[in-house]
Structure 1
Amino acid sequence: MFTFEIDEEITLKLLNESDAEEMFQLIDNCREYLREWLGWIDGTKNVYDSKQFIKGCIRLYEERQGLTLGIFFHGKLAGVIGFNSFDWTNRIGVIGYWLGNQFQGEGIMTRAVIAVIDYGFQQLGLNRIEIRAAYENYKSRAIPERLGFMQEGQIRQGEWLYDHFVDLIQYGLLASEWDSERGF
């Protein structure tokens, strides 16, 4: 199974069914916070739903269509990051992420995104990495902006969140623009 130790605090690992209980508890404890920007929260009602999500992630990993990793901070599941999809013909990966609110402000997500970018460019041979975030989700948008992604446009009403559409900001980064040695 895929496991990557970023530093003494953070480990990324491929989720497995034994993580379903901890994942569900994290989502359930942060439900209101996460619901603001994640449209799938209401569909996660119990541990079984988390287990089904993890099974789907494993299948996508085995088929080389995605790579979903748990973010473990001091051994506790803090959130999820990964490539939601790959376009192997054009060597593009699309990163998505979320973090429980009790883990905010520790630099966890920035370090995790850096590690995933490095992996995508160096190990997977991607040429381009994309991130999309809701226009008003400033915390999520701050990460690609901090890491040198180019804001490439706004996708009007690009995502449905429960009872309304939100605009998405599209960010892109090319392998030739990434310097993994800059250290954040």
Structure 2
Amino acid sequence: MVRDIILKENNVTLRSIQEYDLPSLYNLIYGDTEPLWKKYDAPFYSLEPHTLESYKSHELARKYRLSEHEVDSRLLIEYEGEIIGTVMYYWEEKSSFWLEVGIGIYNADFWEKGVGSQALQMWIDYLFQAMPLARVGLRTWSKNTRMIHIASKLGMTEEARIRKAHLYQGNYYDSVRLGILREEWYFTKNQEKE
């Protein structure tokens, strides 16, 4: 089984999901029938339905599939001890050390407060330290301007824009892909220190 991770910076903590966290996390994700966060997080894909028990089973299976040598693929985001979201990664092309990251702040009270930027910065930094990654990417859509802003703020470059890729509520939106190379990440970090 994968090793637990705990990362702390200021009031933000990223940590491995424990079984006792699952009811709270489930309520954040599935508590509303039409959650506000889903309107920005790929709403053109339906939210996979789960009961609390099926969600627990799904999450525990994800965690147990990872070996102790792998990095946990999904962590909780806590702000001042309160669970507010998750960060995650998945392999786009493992043979070339390219993965994609994502973030979900499920509680809108924490939007536009810098928490998402800090959590994503901590996550990407950790992933570059823990694995020999060549690049980290991020996928979103043109309506999610907050995500594009955060990624750009962290030094990611818009690498692709697939026009009219998503149809949502009668309107077309672009698919947007952003990314950063290992050397760019460390260059940006060193520039911030100076």
TM-score (norm 1): 0.83
Per-residue CA distance 1:52-75 (angstroms, 9 max, x = gap): 341243145338486111111111
Off by >2 Å, runs of 4+ in structure 1: 1-6, 28-32, 37-46, 59-66, 84-88, 155-167, 179-183
Correspondences of 1:1-184 after superposition (within 5 Å):
1-29=3-31, 31-36=34-39, 37-39=41-43, 42-62=47-67, 64=70, 67-85=73-91, 87-100=93-106, 101-156=108-163, 158=165, 166-179=173-186, 180-181=189-190, 182=192
Q: AA paired with 1:142?
A: H
Give 1:161 shift: 6.6
Q: Partners in 2 of 1:105 and 1:158 — Cα distance?
A: 26
**Given that residues 133 and 170 in structure 1 are in contact (C-alpha distance below 8 angstroms), is that contact kept between their aligned partners in structure 2?**
yes
Percentage of identical aligned residues: 19
Q: Which runs of 5+ in 1 are unaligned?
A: none
Q: Partners in 2 of 1:158 and 1:77 — Cα distance?
A: 33
Q: Secondary structure at the match of 1:6?
A: strand
Distance 1:64 1:87, change over 3 A: farther
Q: AA paired with 2:105?
A: L
Distance 1:154 1:53, change over 3 A: farther
Q: Secondary structure at the match of 2:179?
A: strand
Tell me which structure has the larger Cα radius of gyration: 2
Distance 1:88 1:13, change over 3 A: same
Of structures 1 and 2, the one scoring higher in RCO (CA 8 A, sep 6+) is 2
Q: AA paired with 1:149?
A: M
Q: AA paired with 2:20?
A: S
RMSD over aligned Cα atoms? 2.8
Structure 1, 146-155 or 63-72: larger mean CA deviation = 63-72
